[in-house]
Amino acid sequence: MSFAELSSQRAVSTSGGFAATKVASTPGSVTAGNFIVAGGAHEQGTFPSLVISAGAAADGVGWRDVRSRRAVNGNVFSHISWAQILTAGACTVTRTMKDTAGGAVGAYGSFSITEFSGTPYEVTSSDELGTSTSPAPGSVPVLTGDLLLGVVTYRVGGTTCTQPSGWSLIGEQEAYGADQPHHFAFKVALADGTETPVWTLSSSGIWLAQVVVLRPLSAAVPSYARSRVVNQ
């Protein structure tokens, strides 16, 4: 069974400029058995740990930080994470930036969330850093029904970011300055093969792009043909 997004649950983090904590809440109650995804970026002079948590709706098994990357020369960070929902109800995702000692530390950043049906597991991921108008995280192999999650962040003002053809926007914060920009999008693979997504920036600049492939947990269980042996 492939994944399906509940698009009405999309939300972008509160804008707060330089702050240790940013928050995003789903507009409606989440459903037990589904999962929440979060993708975004932040800017900080030292490498902080990234703590993403939800309310009682999704904190039973915690968040999987399936991809977190720092672009050293660009001094920007990006992340994609997900959490299984154990209990239906209101869901608030709080991202807290922390220093190496575990204390909260301010940072410019933003992220988006949405809800999907199903139970996923991570298959593969890829990320790249560059300077151009075409952020591209690299190629990843997929099977039909796989969920691709991609996030792009950049250090260039006055630009817009557009997702690849066939992808759907989850959320974005394009303004560079008040918050570190991000563009979070997804695609459900329609066929087996290789995906090579490319985003588009309206102005050239330093960018960081990453993609993660999630697969339905049911696809991890092989199906074997059964035969019956009759003793003669």
5 to 15, 23, 114, 165, 170: CA distances (angstroms):
24, 21, 7, 18, 10
Whether residue 66 is predicted with pLDDT greater than 70 in this model: the reply is no
Reported confidence tier of residue 217, pLDDT bands at 50, 70, 90: confident
Residue 222: inside a domain: no
* pLDDT number for residue 60: 44
156 to 43, 60, 74, 232: CA distances (angstroms):
13, 39, 10, 77
Mean per-residue pLDDT, 152-168: 92
* pLDDT number for residue 214: 95
Reported confidence tier of residue 140, pLDDT bands at 50, 70, 90: very high
Residue 115, burial from CB neighbour count under 10 angstroms (0-12, 13-18, 19+) = buried
Mean per-residue pLDDT, 115-134: 92
Q: Which of 32, 29, 204, 43 is nearest to 110 (CA)?
A: 43
Whole-angstrom Cα distance, residue 57 to residue 59? 6
Residue 227: inside a domain: no
Whole-angstrom Cα distance, residue 84 to residue 33? 7
Residue 52: inside a domain: yes
Mean per-residue pLDDT, 148-156: 92
Residue-number span of the structural domain to which 213 is assigned: 5-217
Q: Which of 217, 81, 56 is nearest to 149 (CA)?
A: 81
The tally of domains found in the chain comes to: 1
Residue 226: inside a domain: no
Residue 229: inside a domain: no
Q: Mean pLDDT in the chain?
A: 82
More confident residue, 142 or 220: 142
Edge to edge, what strands does the sheet with 21-25 contain? 21-25, 92-98, 49-53
Least confident window among 43-52, 78-87, 93-102: 43-52
Residue 104: inside a domain: yes
* pLDDT number for residue 10: 96
